[in-house]
Structure 1
Amino acid sequence: MSFCLPRILSRTSLPTKLLRPMSSASSAPLLLTPAQVKELMAGQRPISILDATWFMPNVSRKAKDEFASKRLPGAQFLDLDEVASPHELGLKHMMPSGRVFADACERLGIAPSSHVIIYDGHGVFSSPRALFMFRAFGHGNSSIIDGGLPRWQADGLPVEDGVPQQAQPSEYPAPILDTATVKSYEQVVSNSLLGPALSSDAEIVVDARSQGRYLGKDPEPRPGLSSGHIPNSFSLPFTAFLDRKSTGGLEYTTFLPKEKIQQALVNAVGPEAVDMILQGKLPITTSCGSGMSAGVLWLGLKLLGVEKIGLYDESWTGYAMRPTSKIEISH
């Protein structure tokens, strides 16, 4: 079995002038505990609670049905496949335009001043992707519940069911996306022209899929899609950043402590690269199957204080669907 040296994305290929994202209230904590959310619910400041549960395409469970049967009090459902821009390859949950994002916020009753609190039914899985979307559009007053709905229940807090109460429509100006945070296929391909040296003017790539899919040994969950990886990217399964817990018959994931997240990063890319990443000398891009669990790596890196982070929106699905893409398999 062989492992590849890191492939890096050219920083010179990125836009030289960033578009300015909309400014919202000061940034909220990235993670909240259920107890902290309960306290915020009892406060006077406006909050919007969103269920961003999403399931893999090979899973028969329906997120909207589960939302109707069990959710946090007052929550609205955020469908990441609907709040998205159309894609030439038909890919799901791609980053929306500013107008699509703003329209969704207005339907969900979210104002620019609202503290948006996001959770999912796994614990930590799809909620970081939703948080990435809000932060990329400049809505810094946003957080996820670490442990999600099952941790909320495990802590003995109430849930509701039935038809959710309709949110009061709000006004939300269309924001401008921070384009430095979202990486394109073209940027990933241009990366293949660069050497693997960590000292070059480049960006490192980490892949959140399982190592079996990364190596090309296990099949992809999307029929007809080849497994393997982008040449010289690193394998860093998103589960390496998470702790699996079981309480009162409820199983869920939470983020590991920061020192363990950092050690998982060191194990994947090496101490030299991590030092450069933490010092802001080496930007990093996260990728996965379709841009969903790449959000977990993005959020774990944000917890470490890393600022120069991008997310490859199409991720492996978009990359592998194109016949000209070079796919690497390790034996």
Structure 2
Amino acid sequence: MSSVPLLVKPSALAELAKSGVAIFDASWYMPNSPRKAKEEFLLKRIPNAQFLDLDEVASPSEIGLKHMMPSGRQFADACEYWGIEPSTHVVIYDAQGVFSSPRALFMFRAFGHEKSSILDGGLPQWEVEGYPVETGPPLTAVQKTNYPEPSLDENTIRSYQQIAHNASLNPTDPISELVLDARPRGRWVGSDPEPRPGLPSGHIPYSFSLPFSTFLQPNKVPGSDATYSTFLPPRILQEKLVSAVGSDNVEKILKGERSVVTSCGSGMTAGILWLGLKLLGASKIGLYDESWTGYASRESSIVDTGEK
């Protein structure tokens, strides 16, 4: 286990900022959202933050998906551009509190950059607690570094072939993995449409519905109708996980006797479930990068609907 915390509070980030921590805004919005992450970054950000575009620091997908995991060389090139080294403590935030920042953290940790954290509550919590923001074009000059090309921890990512094979196994088979789906339950059941045109809703056989919002606490911005999210305490996270998959499965997950795979629409909010499981101490966790879009777009896939 890394000694660097997965989550930091604004007060901790304010102290870390005095000693040269690298701060990144990894905000990302659904394609049908009117919000523009890069434009918002220029309007308001944590001082000295850089923008991490998860759609750009990515590998091309065979089915055209964005924000897929980058290669080691792509990751290293991005780190060099940002001026960070393997020893740099990286803190990532997003403008929704907790939404896309866990996916960015997953990327850093999967490439072995253990000195990485997210800001719990993101930019909204930073502002609520009275810390300053900066606006306009970034003025801080970044000196390019030399970042050795890292190797991806192959245990962190699942392919379509692995997921399809897992779906063919008896779920009681000890070698099968528990698949947790972070999409809203209506899409998992098949009663609500997918946001991507032409894609059927439903779920991977034997997967469990665990909407990403289940792990989050909504918070209201004082004096505004705006809300943002923070992670629930570990005790409540565990209760939510038990409700989704049962106490026996949770016991095996936390003992490292059963591995888990997180999935969502296209691999973004699966990062929230991944981080929630990490906060509980789970060790065998993978993420299905293409997630439901990759799975359901293939004619050979078996799609289940309805409740179990």
Compute the TM-score of the two structures, normalised by the length of structure 1: 0.90
Q: Trace 1:105-120 onto structure 2 (pairs within 5 A).
A: 105-120=79-94
**Pair 1:266-2:242 in alignment:** yes
Amino acid at match of 2:8: L
Structure 1's unaligned 5+ residue stretches are 1-25
CA deviation vs aligned residue, 1:36-71 (integer Å, no higher than 9, x gap): 00011123xx31100000001111211000001000
**Pair 1:122-2:108 in alignment:** no
Quote the sequence identity (%). Answer: 61
Amino acid at match of 1:279: K
Q: Which residue of 2 aligns with 1:327?
A: 303
**Cα contact 1:27–1:142 (8 A) shared by 2:** no
d(CA) in 1 for partners of 2:263, 2:106? 13
Q: Which residue of 2 aligns with 1:190?
A: 165
Q: Trace 1:35-74 onto structure 2 (pairs within 5 A).
A: 35-43=11-19, 46-74=20-48
* CA RMSD after TM alignment: 1.3
Q: Which residue of 2 aligns with 1:256?
A: 232
Q: Please, which moves more after superposition, 68-77 or 222-231?
A: 222-231
**Cα contact 1:129–1:294 (8 A) shared by 2:** yes
Q: Which residue of 2 aligns with 1:6?
A: none
Amino acid at match of 2:279: L
Structure 2 counterpart SS, 1:64:
helix
1:247, CA displacement in angstroms?
A: 3.2
**Pair 1:210-2:184 in alignment:** yes
CA deviation vs aligned residue, 1:139-193 (integer Å, no higher than 9, x gap): 0000000000000011111001111134221111110000001011000011122
Higher relative CO (Cα under 8 Å, sequence separation at least 6) belongs to 1
Q: Which residue of 1 aligns with 2:261?
A: 285
Structure 1 counterpart SS, 2:278:
helix
d(CA) in 2 for partners of 1:222, 1:80? 19
**Cα contact 2:180–2:260 (8 A) shared by 1:** yes
Amino acid at match of 1:214: W
Moved over 4 A (4+): none
**Cα contact 2:170–2:176 (8 A) shared by 1:** no
Q: Which residue of 2 aligns with 1:149?
A: 123
**Cα contact 1:89–1:318 (8 A) shared by 2:** yes
**Cα contact 1:57–1:222 (8 A) shared by 2:** no
d(CA) in 2 for partners of 1:215, 1:57? 23
**Pair 1:230-2:204 in alignment:** yes
Q: Which residue of 2 aligns with 1:101?
A: 75
d(CA) in 2 for partners of 1:177, 1:200? 26
CA deviation vs aligned residue, 1:46-101 (integer Å, no higher than 9, x gap): 31100000001111211000001000000000000000001111111000000000
Compute the TM-score of the two structures, normalised by the length of structure 2: 0.96
Q: 2:292 aligns with which of 316, 320, 329?
A: 316
CA deviation vs aligned residue, 1:223-281 (integer Å, no higher than 9, x gap): 11111110110000010100001131252100000010001100000111011111110
**Cα contact 1:124–1:148 (8 A) shared by 2:** yes
**Cα contact 2:156–2:287 (8 A) shared by 1:** yes
1:27, CA displacement in angstroms?
A: 4.2
Structure 2 counterpart SS, 1:202:
coil
Amino acid at match of 2:116: S
Q: Which residue of 2 aligns with 1:16?
A: none
Q: Please, which moves more after superposition, 221-230 or 66-75?
A: 221-230
The number of aligned residues is 304
**Cα contact 1:278–1:306 (8 A) shared by 2:** yes
CA deviation vs aligned residue, 1:201-237 (integer Å, no higher than 9, x gap): 2211000000000011111111111111101100000
Q: Which residue of 1 aligns with 2:137?
A: 163
Q: Which residue of 2 aligns with 1:294?
A: 270
Amino acid at match of 1:63: A
